Structure 1
Amino acid sequence: MQAFSNCGLCASGSLLKGRTDFLVARRNMAVLRLSAACVQLLKDKANVFCRSRVHQRLLRLPEVGRSNTVAFSLGTSLCAVPFTQVENLSHESLIRRASCLVTDSANTYLSQTTLALVDALTQYAKALHTLIALQKRYITSIGKLTPAEEDNIWQVIIGQRVEVSDRLEECKRFESNWMNAINICELSAEAAYNSGAEHACTATKTNLQVAQCKVEELRKISKEAEKKLAETKAEEIQRMAEYASSIDINDLEDIPEAYLRED
């Protein structure tokens, strides 16, 4: 730019001189040629600069600033007015995001209720096996215990039966919550599928299958323990009947024959 201004000053200064002087005219022509050369040089430099990466980055600066401004205004508008329709956010996309949030909450509820029910079923099965062991110990010791020892073991058995009953009530309570979680997850998976969130629907159905398989496994263990307890009780009744009949026979042998004769 300085060269261009110098050339312009030279040209204006020379042209203001007397046009009749031949030497001055020749000098003016030389100055004009020099000015044209300076202009052409500046033009070439400008073209090179426009094609450079720095110039292209400078041209993109307004676009970057404008995109950042749009993103900030979009976020603030969502926070301020959730239901205001904003550019690039349709009702379908908002419903899809809301259904994903619902499935996340349903999965959390399902995981917590499943964990509680599994733990309750485990403790119930343990209480059943403890009661079975006490019942079998009593069966093997029928007729061998003193009245005091028999009372002590029966106190333990009764206490264990109370614990089994409490564990069963706990299982029923947690199972009710777990069934509610199952229903909520099924509804949320259906809602996610209808809104277009297939990945959330698939994840929820997978969690449902895992939870149901785990609970079903613990249920089978509890049912087997209940079956063994019923068998142990039947064995106890049979053993008590045998013991009672043996006592009656011994008592009859001790009675004198005179008391057994019919008149």
Structure 2
Amino acid sequence: MQAFRHCGLCVSRGLFLSRTDFLLSEGNMAAIRRVAVCLNLFRGTASAFCNRKSAVQLLRVPEVTRTDVVSFSVGSGLCAVPFTQVENLSHESLIRRASCLITDSANTYLSQTTLALLDALTLYTKALHTLIALQKRYLNSIGKLTPAEEDSIWQVIIGQRAEVGDRLDACKRFESNFLNAISICELSADAAYSSGAEHSSIALKTSLQVAQSKVEEMRRLQTAAEKSLAETKADEIQRMAEYASSIKLNDLEDVPEAYLRED
């Protein structure tokens, strides 16, 4: 500090001199050199003081911070299950998290099987309505078609009946998967509830109820289409019987009276 004050006096004294005299004077040049030395000494002292202060602050790290770092480094290698606090790694919490994963997987399986079954039921119902339309068209044209036209219509009806059978097989296959999904969801919901994951259990049961309601609604449409097809088949049988009887009656009318008399 004495050197710094001395340098300040040198500078203040040099400022009162003119620029030319100040530069030409050897004493002033020596004063400039002393000022530079003082500034370097002051800068070195300040940097040393700052470094020593930073070291002291680093040594005084709170115990809580150092404890948190150690607990995080130790806890990160215990288990692959993600967690935020070390004290939550109990058997109950791990079972609860595993049950939540099961409910998520069961919900995904349920959604996929429900979508597949709904699509299969929709296609089956559409195929039924197409077959009903073809059969009604044929019934309305009985006796008005040539043998070739009647044969072509029957080929189309037979092909549509084959498609209806294929759609029905797909419905049975996806319905089996849907029933398995229902069983898995029920077991998963019960496991989640018993382990303490009530929210996951309630969410899965809600999804199960929605899926069952949608499937039931589509099945009602399927049942209505099947009932309409059965009625159309009954009408077809009746119309065909009436047409056959009318043909026999016309044939009898065409037979000469001599063949109808008894000998």
**What TM-score do you get using the length of structure 2 for normalisation?**
0.74
Encode CA deviations 1:53-97: one digit per residue, 9 max, x unaligned. Answer: xxx9x9664422421331232122113x99xxx643111111101
Structure 1 CA distance, aligned partners of 2:207 and 2:61? Answer: 48
The residue type equivalent to 1:100 in the other structure is C
Structure 1 stretch displaced more, 87-96 or 65-74: 65-74
Structure 2 CA distance, aligned partners of 1:207 and 1:60? Answer: 52
1:75 aligns with 2:79: no
**Paired residue secondary structure (1:78):** coil
Structure 2 CA distance, aligned partners of 1:75 and 1:176? Answer: 44
| 1:184 paired residue number | 184
Encode CA deviations 1:138-177: one digit per residue, 9 max, x unaligned. Answer: 0000001101000100000000000000000000000000
The residue type equivalent to 1:231 in the other structure is E
| Count of residue correspondences | 206
Q: Find runs of 4+ consecutive structure 1 residues off by over 2 angstroms.
A: 58-62
Structure 2 CA distance, aligned partners of 1:60 and 1:130? Answer: 81
Structure 2 CA distance, aligned partners of 1:153 and 1:225? Answer: 21
Mapping of 1:1-263 within 5 angstroms? 61-79=62-80, 87-263=87-263
**Paired residue secondary structure (2:185):** helix
**Paired residue secondary structure (2:77):** helix
The residue type equivalent to 2:194 in the other structure is N
Structure 2 CA distance, aligned partners of 1:183 and 1:59? Answer: 60
Structure 2 CA distance, aligned partners of 1:68 and 1:118? Answer: 54
Which structure 2 residue ranges, 5 or more long, are not aligned? 2-56
**Paired residue secondary structure (2:88):** coil
The residue type equivalent to 2:164 in the other structure is V
When residues 178 and 150 of structure 1 are mapped into structure 2, their CA distance, relative to the original with a 3 A threshold, is same
Structure 2 CA distance, aligned partners of 1:148 and 1:69? Answer: 90
| 2:51 paired residue number | none
Encode CA deviations 1:79-137: one digit per residue, 9 max, x unaligned. Answer: 3x99xxx6431111111011010100000000000000000000000000000000000
RMSD: 2.2
Structure 2 CA distance, aligned partners of 1:252 and 1:69? Answer: 108
Quick one: percent identity of the two aligned structures?
Answer: 73
Structure 2 CA distance, aligned partners of 1:75 and 1:120? Answer: 48
The residue type equivalent to 1:241 in the other structure is A
Structure 2 CA distance, aligned partners of 1:144 and 1:135? Answer: 15
| 1:19 paired residue number | none
The residue type equivalent to 1:71 in the other structure is F
**What TM-score do you get using the length of structure 1 for normalisation?**
0.74
Which structure 1 residue ranges, 5 or more long, are not aligned? 3-55
Structure 2 CA distance, aligned partners of 1:220 and 1:88? Answer: 49
When residues 60 and 122 of structure 1 are mapped into structure 2, their CA distance, relative to the original with a 3 A threshold, is farther
Q: Could you tell me how far 1:258 is from its partner in structure 2?
A: 1.2
Structure 2 CA distance, aligned partners of 1:213 and 1:60? Answer: 61
